[in-house]
């Protein structure tokens, strides 16, 4: 496999894994949980979903041909509290991810050499992908942390439970959960 193909394949695999972490978190939450804010300066899970979806749709619609900060994007509104229900929030989440992953999966080796723009700033396609590899997991980590606060002892662990590292390392199971998305 060429280095370019491997980069795209592994980036997509990692991002699908992080999406799955979000999906598994949402399964544990009820309607109200999506709107919980730990304090006035924190975003709720709903607001984080709104922001991620807005970012994904803006960045990855016509990715190779238009600036990633679309004129139609209302970024400040993404941080406004809306009364979306759980189903509406999950639809936003899926729409953003579908746009993002469909675009990533359509990229060819030659596309990685191209330059795209975000807020008129030139970036290589590789850098634009890496930027999102940092941005989206950052927000998914926030979502998981807020969900852990909400669920407390009812939280169902998404990775290796506390105190079980040695047993996990000794098992014959797949150690890199992202590899199941190959």
For the chain of 182 residues, list the mean pLDDT of each consecutive stretch of 10. Answer: 92 97 98 95 97 98 97 96 96 98 97 97 97 97 98 93 84 76 74
Question: What pLDDT is attached to residue 41?
Answer: 94
**Which regions of the chain does DSSP assign to beta strands (E)?**
115-118, 121-124
* 3-state SS assignment for residue 117: strand
- What pLDDT does residue 160 have? 83
| pLDDT at residue 12, rounded to an integer | 97
CB 78 within 8 A of CB 50: yes
pLDDT, position 175: 67
Q: Residue 90 has what pLDDT? A: 98
Q: Side-chain half-sphere of 141: how many Cα atoms within 13 Å? A: 6
pLDDT computed for residue 181 by the predictor: 78
Please give the pLDDT value at position 173.
76
Considering the entire predicted model, what is its pTM?
0.94
Please name which of 136, 113, 116, 146 lies closest in space to residue 33, comparing C-alpha atoms.
Answer: 146
Residue 15 makes CB contacts below 8 A (sequence gap 6+) with 100, 101, 104, 132, 133, 136
Domain architecture of the chain: domains with CATH: 3-160 (1.20.120.450)
């Amino acid at each position: 496999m060429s280095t370019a193909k491997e980069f795209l394949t592994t980036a997509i695999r990692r991002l699908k894994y992080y999406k799955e972490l979000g999906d598994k978190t949402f399964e544990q939450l009820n309607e109200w949980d999506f709107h919980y804010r730990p304090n006035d300066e924190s975003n709720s899970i709903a607001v984080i979903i709104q922001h991620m979806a807005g970012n994904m749709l803006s960045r990855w619609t016509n990715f190779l041909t238009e600036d990633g900060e679309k004129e139609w994007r209302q970024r400040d509104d993404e941080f406004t509290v809306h009364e979306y229900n759980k189903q509406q929030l999950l639809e936003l989440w899926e729409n953003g991810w579908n746009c993002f992953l469909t675009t990533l999966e359509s990229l060819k080796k030659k596309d990685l050499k191209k330059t795209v723009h975000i807020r008129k700033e030139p970036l290589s396609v590789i850098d634009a992908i890496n930027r999102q590899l940092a941005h989206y997991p950052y927000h998914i980590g926030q979502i998981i942390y807020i969900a852990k606060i909400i669920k407390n002892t009812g939280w169902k662990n998404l990775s290796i439970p506390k105190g079980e590292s040695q047993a996990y390392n000794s098992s014959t199971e797949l150690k890199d959960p992202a590899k199941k998305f190959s």
